[in-house]
Each structure stands twice: as C-alpha cells, then as structure tokens.
Amino acid sequence: MTQAPSSPAAPVRSIRTLIGVRGMDREAGLRVAGSLLKLEGVLKAAPDDGQIEVHYDPSLHTVMDLIREIRQQGFLAGML
C-alpha cells in the first residue's frame, strides 16, 4: 500500500514591526536582535541605530512581548 505524499507545511504568516529602542547602538543592537531571535516565532530581527525591525508570527507573540524582551536587555522601547 502506498502512502499519499504529505502536503507541504503552510508558510508561516509573519508581521513586520519597527520598534524604537532608546540608547541602542550597533553593538547593543546585535545583542538585542540575538535575544529576540531566541524567541519561538521571531523570524528576523534587524537592528539599526535607535530602532529594530522585527518579523514575527502573530499567533505566538504580540508587539508587547517583543518590547518586554527588549526591556529585559536594559533598554527603553516602544512602537514607532
């Protein structure tokens, strides 16, 4: 008996958001990005001076979850 081929997994739906991060320079941005990328469902975190672009799965996180993670790194953060 042959098995029907399994259907490919549905692509993950992601949302892009920009979060302002006060006092974050390039080195700190890499640290913050690394922290965010450890969260399940965060697909991309691209830092720039004073902000970070994050692509994430909205079924796993809210923007506030991301902001809380940034604040745990010692920065003030909020939506842009």
Predicted confidence at residue 27, as pLDDT, reads 92
Domain ranges of the chain: 24-79
Q: Can you list the alpha helix ranges (DSSP code H) found in the chain? A: 26-37, 63-72
Predicted confidence at residue 80, as pLDDT, reads 81
Bigger pLDDT: 7 or 21? 21
Predicted confidence at residue 6, as pLDDT, reads 57
**CA gap 16, 29 in Å, rounded:** 17
pLDDT tens digit sequence for 20-76: 999 999 899 999 999 999 999 999 999 998 999 999 999 999 999 999 999 999 999
Predicted confidence at residue 48, as pLDDT, reads 94
pTM reported for the whole predicted model: 0.83
Assigned CATH topology for domain 24-79: Alpha-Beta Plaits (3.30.70)
Closest CA to 76 of 53, 44, 52, 40: 52
**Res. 2: pLDDT tops 80:** no
